Amino acid sequence: MEDNTSKIQIRPLQMDDYTQLAQSFKRVYADGSDVFWTRKQIETLLRLFPEGQIVTVVDNKIVGCALSIIVDYNLVKGDHTYAQVTGNETFSTHNPKGNIMYGIEVFIHPEYRGMRLARRMYEYRKELCEKLNLKAIMFGGRIPNYHLYSDTLRPKEYIEQVRKREIYDPVLTFQLSNDFHVRKVMKNYLPNDQESKHYACLLQWDNIYYQPPTENPLPVNNSVRVGLVQWQMRNYHSIDDLFEQIEFFVDAVSGYQSDFILFPEYFNAPLMEEFNHMSESQAIRGLCSYTDEIRKRFVDLAISYNINIITGSMPQQREDGLYNVGFLCRRDGSYEMYEKIHVTPEEVKSWGLTGGSLIRTFDTDCAKVGVLICYDVEFPELARIMADQGMQILFVPFLTDTQNAYSRVRVCAQARAIENECFVVIAGSVGNLPRVHNMDIQYAQSGVFTPCDFAFPTDGKRAEATPNTEMILVSDIDLDLLTELHTYGSVRTLKDRRKDLYELRFKKKGDS
């Protein structure tokens, strides 16, 4: 092959290509037999499934092809032979209503191997599988080097050695590196394949975007818009004054068609001013008198402005103690409560707060979310439990007085995004409340953080607010990027955990 290759193209196969294709299109086995596709067979494939037949062209010369059909999963999930799945190469098994793309041929001219051309054709197949909403790509894969080890290794052992890269197999090694996994071993798949000792691997690549068909299919939008309120602490003389400001922000964020709005921890602290004549522990309990009314008003706003509201947090008095809680108010009118699990030493010392026990995720109309209040984000176990429950977005309402306190929240939030392969959204308060004891100063820079991989910002920062300035921050996040990360990321922190060595266990049953 000449070294001045200038153009490589993957395109649909056409009947005009047949003459050129036939000059090199053979599959030769150890016994000297070969398989040769006839003109009639190619015509049939192009008639049944034209987009599934492609060729690789290098400098206007056809040097490879990939052929496929669509079948029903039930036909290929168990043992089968090449003759059975192709209808003895008549392709009568092709089912346009099936859910599996089945590969029946991939060929690269020997002189053009080593150029990663087959990889390009597999990428085309994967994109087509996603476009057609097929469940998976499957095919029987040869193991041509198995004859060198068949005296000492069973097929299962051979496959495991190839997977560990202790044995090289020109077909299986390539397929494993292209995200295919071995579903099972089949006997007599290709009767002439003596190199593989008549064995084949049933290989499968799963379409992570597959959506089971429904009677009334709806378009899937996996982009979620989140709005953060970097809240300015200021004096409010009544709950009506407080909600005049809250509704202003809800109105502004919903005007950008946001799906969520997040408020900070203890955003309602200004209302404690009327209890300043009491001790600090009594004042915070006085603030509890507003909690039910605040929740009801947030539910009304969620409905009125068609937005899911994460209410930040506020104190709640119960018979067994004082808690720091917040509410997810959905735009359908439903709501659920979350609790601060770990209370800070200062919350215990000044107010006598008690840590809650609810650790759970919440389903919404656009994402599965979790909420950790401020200090809780500094405990990695909580977010990991939520990640195991399928959390996609972690919301963190916080309140920090100094920059070092803020840095703890921020750095831990970014760590949670990386280790749990999720988005983390944080929002805090700024300014000061000179007339409210224990709430003197605030420092915050709200933001949206991501995992660190090629599809995300290199520093893991999707968006950030201006420090110590009242403002809103609106950002779009793409949940499909998480799906890709879980499966194809440079590192896969959730998938690669050594569960054979350690586990995370929730001890308090009934609260998760």
- The answer to pTM > 0.85 is no
Torsion of CA 230, 232, 233, 235, to 10 degrees: -140
pLDDT at 1: 46
Rounded Cα distance between 122 and 177, Å, is 11
Rounded to the nearest 10 degrees, the angle between the axes of helix 239-254 and helix 291-304 is 30
Q: Are 196 and 449 in contact (CB under 8 A)?
A: no
Residue 199 token pair = 């064995």
* 374 given a catalytic annotation: yes
DSSP state letters, 99-121: SEEEEEEEEE-GGGTTS-HHHHH
Give the Cβ contact number of residue 82 at 10 Å: 19
pLDDT at 2: 47
Torsion of CA 376, 379, 383, 386, to 10 degrees: -80
pLDDT in tens, 224-281: 999 999 999 988 889 999 999 999 999 999 999 999 999 999 999 999 888 888 888 8
pLDDT at 220: 54
Identified catalytic residue from 340, 347, 366, 421: 340
Of 141, 119, 103, 137, the residue nearest 56 (C-alpha): 119
* 340 given a catalytic annotation: yes
Please, what's the largest Cα pairwise distance for the chain? 98
Of 137, 140, 139, 109, the residue nearest 124 (C-alpha): 137
| Amino acid (one-letter) located at 166 | E
Alpha helices (H) along 23-148: 39-48, 73-76, 82-86, 117-131
Q: What one-character DSSP code corresponds to residue 418?
A: H
Rounded Cα distance between 46 and 160, Å, is 37
Over the chain, what is the mean pLDDT? Answer: 90
DSSP state letters, 351-415: H-B--------EE-SS-EEEE--GGGGG-HHHHHHHHHTT--EEEEE---SSHHHHHHHHHHHHH
Q: Are 76 and 93 in contact (CB under 8 A)?
A: no
Strand positions, DSSP E, 188-246: 199-206, 223-233
Residue 40 three-state SS: helix
Q: Are 259 and 366 in contact (CB under 8 A)?
A: yes
Identified catalytic residue from 374, 412, 421, 470: 374
| Amino acid (one-letter) located at 389 | Q
Q: Which residues partner with 102 through β-bridges?
A: 69, 138
pLDDT at 509: 56
Q: What is the pLDDT along the chain (512 residues), one digit of tens a residue?
A: 445 545 888 999 999 998 888 776 654 334 444 447 889 999 999 999 999 999 999 888 888 899 999 999 999 999 999 999 999 999 999 999 999 999 999 988 888 877 788 889 999 999 999 999 999 999 999 999 999 999 999 999 999 999 999 999 999 999 999 899 999 999 999 888 899 999 999 999 999 888 887 655 544 568 999 999 999 998 888 999 999 999 999 999 999 999 999 999 999 999 988 888 888 889 899 999 999 999 999 999 999 999 999 999 999 999 999 999 999 999 999 999 999 999 999 999 999 999 999 999 999 999 999 999 999 999 999 999 999 999 999 999 999 999 999 999 999 999 999 999 999 999 999 988 877 766 778 999 999 999 999 999 999 999 999 999 999 999 999 999 998 898 888 999 998 999 999 999 888 654 44
First vs last C-alpha separation in the chain: 63
Q: What does the angle CA 448 – CA 388 – CA 426 come to, to the nearest 5 degrees?
A: 20
Residue 384 token pair = 């990991």
pLDDT at 390: 94
DSSP state letters, 139-167: EEE--TTGGGTTTT--HHHHHHHHHTTSS
Q: Are 119 and 170 in contact (CB under 8 A)?
A: no
Residue 282 three-state SS: helix
Identified catalytic residue from 65, 135, 265, 329: 265
Show Cβ contacts of residue 423 under 8 Å, excluding neighbours closer than 6 positions. Answer: 392, 393, 394, 417, 448, 449, 450, 462, 477, 482
* 265 given a catalytic annotation: yes
H-helix or E-strand spanning residue 511: none
Q: Which residues partner with 396 through β-bridges?
A: 426
| Amino acid (one-letter) located at 167 | I
